[in-house]
């Protein structure tokens, strides 16, 4: 390298930094410029542009499609992407499902209380919860489908929490746990050991109780019921897998995390 010349990797990091800022600042869909356009705009080489795009790809902000219809698809980060990267960190440290469940026990029920404190809960919170409850009530005989629908209720409690930081942090944990529970549901269904429709119906009934307390604005009671319910549902999963390691690297877990609902504000 000649004296005074900026290393290619530093140029790539500068380009990646600018593109990252644009992606995160975009209000709607953002299309990444072509490589030709980026070379012209930044006055850098093609290798530097390709390296910048690879940096963004490793961060999960873009997906590069190779071949005749290639290009870069932009992804704005959300709870599901945060959950995936958090899950990788937990998996690498061999964190158990029991540990994840305990952390969620501390945080998720607070979201039910915050929903109950919203002055606009009748218009902004209850319709979504009621729709979710009705959907899960129709699926009590289908273990895998019921688990997916029932977990949506928990996702909604978090997504309707007013504080944005809490929504994103707790939402990531909920998405991560939902992926583990979905994997459990598929495994139990395959061996014919998924809980009975009656037990599923009782879970739906508890969801209705939580929604009723939120509707009435009884924050402490909504939190209490939500915590007891979460502990009970977690117990069923942990009875078999408490010492299991949080796993997100399997295709099955990735699909479950990707299915997490988007933030609702």
Distances (CA, A) of 226 to 91, 113, 241: 27, 9, 22
Return d(Cα 247, Cα 244) in angstroms, integer: 9
- DSSP-derived letter for residue 94 is T
What is the CATH number that goes with domain 79-258? 1.20.120.530
Biggest distance spanned by C-alpha atoms of the chain: 75
Return d(Cα 122, Cα 163) in angstroms, integer: 18
Structure tokens at 219: 């924050």
Q: Would you state the pLDDT for residue 75?
A: 82
Q: Which CATH number fits domain 8-74: 3.40.50.10740, 3.40.50.300, 1.10.357.10, 1.10.10.10?
A: 1.10.10.10
| Four-residue CA torsion sign, 138, 130, 146, 219 | negative
Return d(Cα 140, Cα 145) in angstroms, integer: 8
Nearest to 97 by CA among 239, 252, 245, 234: 245
Structure tokens at 234: 């977690």
How do the domains of the chain map onto residue ranges? 8-74, 79-258
Return d(Cα 172, Cα 78) in angstroms, integer: 8
175-210 pLDDT per residue, tens: 889 888 888 898 899 999 999 999 999 999 999 999
61-86 pLDDT per residue, tens: 888 876 544 467 888 877 677 888 88
Nearest to 209 by CA among 224, 225, 197, 231: 225
134-171 pLDDT per residue, tens: 999 999 999 999 999 999 999 999 999 999 999 989 99
Return d(Cα 173, Cα 155) in angstroms, integer: 10
């Amino acid at each position: 390298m000649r004296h005074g010349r900026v290393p290619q990797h530093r140029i790539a990091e500068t380009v990646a930094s600018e593109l990252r800022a644009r992606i995160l600042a975009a209000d709607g869909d953002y299309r990444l410029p072509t490589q030709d356009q980026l070379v012209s705009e930044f006055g850098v080489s093609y290798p530097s542009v390709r390296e910048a795009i690879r940096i963004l790809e490793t961060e999960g902000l873009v997906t590069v499609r190779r071949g005749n219809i290639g290009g870069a698809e932009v992804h704005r980060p959300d709870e599901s992407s945060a959950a995936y990267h958090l899950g990788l960190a937990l998996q690498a440290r061999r964190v158990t499902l029991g540990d994840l469940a305990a952390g969620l026990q501390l945080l998720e029920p607070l979201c039910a209380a915050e929903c109950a404190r919203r002055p606009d809960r009748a218009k902004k919170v209850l319709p979504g919860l009621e729709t979710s409850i009705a959907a899960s009530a129709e699926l009590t005989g289908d273990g895998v489908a019921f688990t997916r629908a029932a977990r949506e209720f928990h996702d909604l409690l978090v997504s309707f929490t007013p504080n944005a930081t809490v929504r994103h942090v707790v939402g990531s944990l909920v998405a991560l746990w939902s992926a583990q529970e979905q994997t459990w549901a598929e495994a139990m269904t395959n061996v014919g050991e998924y809980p009975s429709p009656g037990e599923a119906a009782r879970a739906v009934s508890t969801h209705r109780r939580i929604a009723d307390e939120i509707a009435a604005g009884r924050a402490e009671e909504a939190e209490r019921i939500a915590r007891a319910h979460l502990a009970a549902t977690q117990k069923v999963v942990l009875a078999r897998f408490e010492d299991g390691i949080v796993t997100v690297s399997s295709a099955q877990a990735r699909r479950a995390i990707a299915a997490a609902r988007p933030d609702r504000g």
